[in-house]
Structure 1
Amino acid sequence: MTLKDHGGNIDQAMARHGGASSDWLDLSTGINPCAYPIPDLPSQAWSDLPTISNKERLHKAAKSAWSCRGEVLAVSGAQAAIQMMPHFAPAAGLPGRHAKILTPTYNEHANVLRLAGWNVEEVSQLEQLADCDLAIVVNPNNPNGRLYQPEQLAALLPHVGRLVVDESFMDCETGYSLTTDTDKDGLIILRSFGKFYGLAGIRLGFVVASPQDIRVFNQLAGPWPVSGAAIEIGTTALSDHKWQNETILRLRKDAARLDILIQLSGATLVGGTPLFRLYDCPNAAVFQDQLAAHHIWSRIFPYSQSFIRLGLPGSQKDWEKLETAIKSIQKG
């Protein structure tokens, strides 16, 4: 069994290129570098087991934030929901173990299903997802930011056993979300909290689906799937519409700034979201090493020799560090 490639592997960067963690600017993830300010938490959030009523407060905040028609279940990150999928599907009465995934995309969907013995077929066109037990689409897609209209995805529902739409990077693209359709049988939406809110460390994510499907996920998740601290932070942040709107505008502005800067190196924009950008360059591994010489870590992919993905710098110091590196690469 092999580990799949991921961003956030700063330990590997240090092992290869030296330096302490404080020396590095990690742009290998799509996590908002300007995190939501953590509110003061009641002592019970740390000392007591989470209560059902507190968890329901979080669910209510998520339903309101995303205009969900279906039910919501908080879990310890969107990845936790992905880990449940191989076990959820048979429990939900699907006739077989045949999954189709629209690729290239986040590799853990295929990984966890294959490890559980599923037949996984990777397809490149949306219409090719028909006729399977489990169809999976990441929207917006990671790493190229590809977006599908809600009606395009909803049209698949009569032709698949279950449709899973991973909306982990949807917060800046609200018009494309399918959460308003989650009262429909067979539709499951996964949402991340840590990426947009910049708090990946609290491990919070959500499943949005019909009541009967949420019941199955709830059984798989166990009695305390999220911490008291995550409940309190998530409830506050999901209700903070002013911060959300300001953050969307800032992320879009910073993404455009990053595009202009990186294209000075000769790389061209392929796509992305306001939280990460995907570029094409002559040799992605060389470009990654050039940035790493300045202690800046990026993301490259085993299926492409030319794709490199970068998250956004946060502080002015981080922007200056990246600008210095790009100018050095230009001169070289």
Structure 2
Amino acid sequence: MSAHAPLSSPIAHGGRLDAARRAFPHAPEPWIDLSTGINPNPYLLPVIAPEAWMRLPDEAAFANLDVAARAAYRAPQDSAIVAGAGAQAFIQLLPRVFPAHRVGVLGFTYAEHGACWAANGAKVETVATIEALMGFDVAVIVNPNNPDGRILLPRDLGPLAQEMTRKGGLLVIDESFMDFTPEHSATSLALLEGVVVLRSFGKAYGLAGVRLGFALCAPARAAILRAALGPWAVSGPALAIGAEALADVRWRAAAAAGCAAEAERLDAALARAGFELLGGASLFRLVRHGKAQHWFLRLCEKGVLVRDFPERPIWLRFGLPGSEAAWARLNAALETG
């Protein structure tokens, strides 16, 4: 079926509903987007003061966000936190402000890291082990990994972090999906000069449109990042939303438990349909099936968008349905696939 072609791109992403609608114009509406690892039950937006929309953000707003983020991410006291327009903003910024000749990426993983370093002139190589990253100028590790959920503990990352610091290199640890497993976070390494830890706000809190993310690192690197971002890198409303949400410990704990339970429910539904679980985090599950491309097309015809991988044609990644109605449509699609 040729309808799959319009969804392909050099760097495929989830959330391509506009392309899906063009490729499958007769699919039922509304589409159920399971192609992204975003919490489908978002944090309830707080009341935002009118001045947050009307004025440029002041230092107090950034300071409030810093305090909340520092506590939520368990950042070392002497480390720095830089706020920006999503983790993606830092993924694109790091190669420009910290240029490198050779970049190693622990794969198979999120393609934007390698693409951004390559676009800035680096020779990028995907490797299979942490030890293989030791000889590069820059090492990139997505942790938990997207799409298979692999987790490396701080003690696993420590030797590489120390080596990068010793030789003036850089270890980038992308923790965009770490919010619900904070016990595994490597933010304790952010004090080292050779480490930058990235965090995403939108995924766990279900507010990707807020465009908020953070880089945790040593103060010297933070100063360079802030200078490159310029003033007002985060909007006033995003500062207010982020500060309140990140300080809400009770909500985060409940969301973590809820998403973990929904992930188990998803595992069971996919197993009944004949998929083999390969891994994932609580916000997404990676599965394998010999007819994965058939399933991808069949689900699209039912108005259910999941994430496929041209490089791994027998893999699919499913996000969490956000309502009982969405669950019913997914289960029906899986039964008729």
**Residue of structure 1 in register with 2:35 after alignment:** 28
**Residue of structure 2 in register with 1:308 after alignment:** 316
In 1, the alpha carbon distance for the partners of 2:181 and 2:83 equals 21
Q: Does the Cα contact within 8 Å between 1:14 and 1:21 map onto a contact in 2?
A: no
Q: 2:255 aligns with which of 226, 235, 247?
A: 247
**Residue of structure 2 in register with 1:51 after alignment:** 58
Unaligned ranges ≥5, structure 2: 1-8
> Alpha-carbon deviation of 1:3?
4.2
Is the aligned partner of 1:129 residue 2:147?
A: no
In 1, the alpha carbon distance for the partners of 2:28 and 2:129 equals 40
Q: 1:83 aligns with which of 92, 97, 118?
A: 92
In 2, the alpha carbon distance for the partners of 1:283 and 1:85 equals 38
Q: Does the Cα contact within 8 Å between 1:131 and 1:159 map onto a contact in 2?
A: no
Question: Aligned letter for 1:38?
Answer: L
> Alpha-carbon deviation of 1:157?
1.9
Q: Does the Cα contact within 8 Å between 1:32 and 1:275 map onto a contact in 2?
A: yes
> Alpha-carbon deviation of 1:21?
8.8
Unaligned ranges ≥5, structure 1: 91-95
- SS of residue matched to 1:310: strand
- SS of residue matched to 1:155: helix
**Residue of structure 1 in register with 2:333 after alignment:** 325
Deviations 1:130-182 (A, max 9, x none): 01111000000000000101111111023331111000000111111011221
TM normalised by structure 1 equals 0.95
**Residue of structure 1 in register with 2:206 after alignment:** 198
- SS of residue matched to 1:99: strand
Q: Do the aligned partners of residues 21 and 180 (structure 1) sit closer, same or farther apart at CA in structure 2, a change above 3 Å counting?
A: farther
Q: 1:145 aligns with which of 149, 165, 182?
A: 149
In 1, the alpha carbon distance for the partners of 2:307 and 2:318 equals 7
Deviations 1:202-243 (A, max 9, x none): 100000000001001101111011100000000000000110
Is the aligned partner of 1:276 residue 2:268?
A: no
Comparing 277-286 with 137-146, greater Cα deviation is found at 277-286
**Residue of structure 2 in register with 1:93 after alignment:** none
Comparing 177-186 with 54-63, greater Cα deviation is found at 177-186
**Residue of structure 2 in register with 1:116 after alignment:** 120
**Residue of structure 2 in register with 1:14 after alignment:** 21
Q: 1:39 aligns with which of 29, 35, 46?
A: 46
How big is the alpha-carbon RMSD for the aligned residues of Structure 1 and Structure 2? 1.2
In 2, the alpha carbon distance for the partners of 1:302 and 1:126 equals 25
- SS of residue matched to 1:38: coil
**Residue of structure 2 in register with 1:231 after alignment:** 239
In 1, the alpha carbon distance for the partners of 2:26 and 2:72 equals 41
TM normalised by structure 2 equals 0.94
Deviations 1:275-321 (A, max 9, x none): 00000001221111111121000001121111000100011111111
In 1, the alpha carbon distance for the partners of 2:336 and 2:29 equals 21
- SS of residue matched to 1:23: coil
Question: Aligned letter for 1:256?
Answer: E
Q: Does the Cα contact within 8 Å between 2:81 and 2:217 map onto a contact in 1?
A: yes
Q: Do the aligned partners of residues 21 and 210 (structure 1) sit closer, same or farther apart at CA in structure 2, a change above 3 Å counting?
A: farther
Point out 4+ residue stretches in structure 1 off by more than 4 angstroms.
Answer: 19-22
In 1, the alpha carbon distance for the partners of 2:26 and 2:182 equals 39
Q: Give the % identical residues.
A: 39
